[in-house]
Amino acid sequence: MPMIETINLTKKYADLVALDNLNLTINAGDCFGFIGPNGAGKTTTIKILATLLKPSSGQAMIDGLTVGYQNRQIRPLIGYVPDFMGAYQDMVVTEYLEFFAACYNIHGKARKKVVQDVLDLTDLNYKASAEVNSLSRGMQQRLSIARVLLHDPKVLLMDEPASGLDPRARIEMRELLKELKRMGKTIIISSHILPELAELCNVVGIIERGQLLYNGTVAEAIRRARVGHVVHVAVSARTAEAAEALSKMPGVSKVTIAEGEGPTIAGQATPLIHLAFEPTSRFDATDIPNVLINQGFRMTQFSEETVNLETAFMRLTKGVVQ
């Protein structure tokens, strides 16, 4: 049985459709990256799963329990990390954690132990006596994660946990999420930092205008986004002639010249030739330098286009991949 499942999940605000028949399946132990432009429906989905919003129609289930009907049983199973956290004025870190532990009916020695455990896990021991509102953005996000781990939930719902963090804080956040993944938590992360999602997540979902465009592995998303081979070539002189020669190669579908994108020679950026091959063509990278050298051109750059999660996101959301 999936840990998280949505069936035709729909959320409307008057005439605005925030979610449009979302069908999503996330298995226990998955780290799921939720990707989409602003307003795509990521936060709406996470808030419904967190029992903070009611869907207009459809179903959302966590561990077999239905959101909206079994919220009391669902809430002990989940931990929700919003984009920004709030705290009472003058509250210090240990007070903050003890307050929420008490809300989960954790008392006495057990409460002190669990607070110490989450401080250790999130590396916040040295800030135990600091005021919450004095913490940096990165430390506040780590504290927010510590808070949701107090009751040891099965599922973590994380809405832009790395938003606004500096590079060091992002690295620390990434390592913490890796540790939670090793602990077997089922994690949903919405984020705009796609390289980190590609590293952390075993599955991703791409959503646009409330509709799920893709749900699967990162490798499969990249495979679907690859529309043939694209190669970038620069020559020392006679770029137009080189482009004409390359256009006659078998399988070439398009040749363009981009001024100023090539390597800098004598203080001036040279043109770059973009060479696209048909997806079904037999592609051999060694053919390109052979053609150029045989016709007297000196090649100064040769590289194949890298297709990554960012490329896949741009092509899938633009409808390039059918």
Q: Give the domain ranges of the chain.
A: 4-224, 227-306
Of 144, 145, 184, 157, nearest to 60 (Cα)? 157
Distance CA 74, CA 22 (A): 20
Question: What pLDDT score was predicted for residue 224?
Answer: 65
pLDDT given for residue 59 in this prediction: 95
Which one is predicted more confidently, 320 or 139?
Answer: 139
Q: What is the pLDDT confidence band of residue 322, given thresholds at 50, 70 and 90?
A: very low
Instruction: Reply yes or no on domain 4-224 having CATH 1.20.120.450.
Output: no
pLDDT, mean of residues 165-190: 87
pLDDT tier for residue 318 given thresholds of 50, 70 and 90? low
Q: pLDDT > 90: what percent of the chain?
A: 38
The stretch 53-60 carries a mean pLDDT of 94
How many of the other CB atoms lie within 10 Å of CB of 105? 10
Overall residue count recorded for the chain in this entry: 322
Predicted TM-score (pTM) of this structure: 0.75
pLDDT value, residue 137: 85
Which of the two residues, 275 and 18, has the higher pLDDT score?
18
pLDDT for 227 equals 61
Q: Which two tokens mark 10?
A: 């729909």
Output b/e per residue, 26-54; b: 16+ Cβ within 10 A.
Answer: beeebbbbbbbeeebbbbbbbbbbbbebe
To the nearest 10 degrees (0 to 180), the angle between helices 239-247 and 287-294 is: 130
- Chain CA centroid to CA 75, Å: 25
pLDDT score of 321: 41
pLDDT band at 316 (very low <50, low <70, confident <90, very high): low
- Kindly state the average pLDDT of the residues 206-211: 87
- Give how far Cα 261 sits from Cα of 103, 227, 232, 277, 315, Å: 58, 22, 10, 20, 22
Residues 246-253, mean pLDDT to the nearest whole number: 81
227-306 — its CATH code? 3.30.70.1340
Write the burial class of residue 280 (CB in 10 Å: 0-12 exposed, 13-18 middle, 19+ buried). Answer: exposed
pLDDT on residue 176: 87
Whether pLDDT at 197 is above 50: yes
Is the model's pLDDT at 215 over the cut of 70? yes
Q: What pLDDT score was predicted for residue 319? A: 45
Which amino acid is located at 253 in the chain? S
